[in-house]
Amino acid sequence: MGEQLTMKGKGLSIQTRNYEFMVKFTPQREWIEKQGILMLLAMFFIELGAGTFLVSSFFQNRSGMLTGWLLCGLLGGGFHLLYLGHPGRFWRMLFSSGLKTSWISRGLAFVLLFLVGGFLNLFSPSETEIGKYLLFLTNIFAFLTVIYVGFVMAAVNGIPLWNTALLPILYLVLGIWSGLGVTLLNFLASGTKVTTLGTVEHLSRLFLFLFAFLVFVYLVCVRYQHTAGEASVKTIVIGKLAPLFWIGVVFMGILLPMASLLMETIPPYLLFLLIIFELIGDFALRYCVLKGALYPPLVPTNMD
């Protein structure tokens, strides 16, 4: 509670100490600080895994599907369970009234159905008619898994940075874009033919531009939506999180992959590096969105 969060711009300085809790813009801490970092890792790997499965399934790449399944189930699910105060009670999320209204409950149901479907797909022949239907169903749950984290956050109306319909769309694009990256890595590792590789690359470029556009639109919309939204955007763009945003998200995640478009052919080692940069960009943006979240003050202030 004693940590300071400073932000320059318009002569406005945001600092939160004990006596400033909800009197000034107050940062969200539970899902990012200390043990909260596990929540970030969980969100990242769950979406990355489901996105990878979805894309790999589209390109019929079973090793990619397995990678996605493992990323989502082992890393994503593992970090999520580690984050919980009482992981042994997680079953209550599925067998309670929460399933009707809570996005975390729904998300867990999607993840479990995706993991079960993915397991059956990966370890049974998919050529049969039933196998195809099962794959189709699993892909639906993978899609829902990619998108649910955005809804978890967008449902929080106390944080203007999150409370926007653009966030689920941004996270969906982010999940599929990163999924394309991991699928590409799998193709590179398995020495797949150039035509498939090219299709994945073209799609990856399309999603790169979509991602860059959505990040811009998202930040602009939040900036003009609420004073706390404005403060959050400033914290990300010119405040404490600016180095991470500009180096991690913009330079590594967007500009470097875009610059690579100028090259006629990209050597595999450079492609590998670019995909790693893409993933760093994805992670950095998720960190910024969680860390930059601010609650507006409850009481009258000069900031209104």
Partner 1 sequence: MRLGMVIDLKKCVGCYACVVKCKQEHFLPTGMNWRRILISETGEYPNAQKHVYPVLCNHCADPVCVSVCPTGATKRLETGIVVVEEDKCVGCRYCVVACPYQARSYHREEYPYFPHQGPTAFEILREKLYPHQRKVVLKCNFCIERIEKALGQGLKPGENYEANTACVNICPTKAMVFGDLDDPDSEVSKYIREKRAQQLHPEYGTDPSVYYVIS
Q: Which residues form the interface with partner 1 (CB under 8 A)?
A: 1, 19, 21-23, 26, 28, 30-31, 83-87, 89-90, 92-93, 96-99, 101-105, 108, 152, 155-159, 295, 297-302
d(CA 177, CA 206): 9
CB of 303 to partner 1, least distance (A): 9
What is the Cα gyration radius of the chain? 20
Give whichever of 65 and 293 is closer to partner 1, judged by the CB atom: 293
The tokens of 72 are what?
A: 């989502």
Neighbours of 216 (CB within 10 A): 11
CB of 36 to partner 1, least distance (A): 8
**Contact between residue 276 and residue 1 where contact means Cβ atoms under 8 Å apart:** no
Q: How far is CA 49 from CA 74, 160, 273, in A?
A: 10, 28, 19
d(CA 169, CA 173): 6
Give whichever of 23 and 266 is closer to partner 1, judged by the CB atom: 23
CB of 159 to partner 1, least distance (A): 8
Task: Spell out where 144-186 has E strands.
Answer: none
**Contact between residue 75 and residue 45 where contact means Cβ atoms under 8 Å apart:** yes
| Long-range CB contact pairs, 212-219, < 8 A, 24+ | 212/254, 212/258, 214/166, 214/169, 214/170, 214/173, 215/170, 215/249, 215/254, 215/285, 217/166, 218/164, 218/166, 218/167, 218/170
CB of 191 to partner 1, least distance (A): 43
CB of 4 to partner 1, least distance (A): 18
Give whichever of 90 and 209 is closer to partner 1, judged by the CB atom: 90
Give whichever of 76 and 297 is closer to partner 1, judged by the CB atom: 297
Give whichever of 160 and 248 is closer to partner 1, judged by the CB atom: 160
Give whichever of 157 and 195 is closer to partner 1, judged by the CB atom: 157
CB of 232 to partner 1, least distance (A): 14
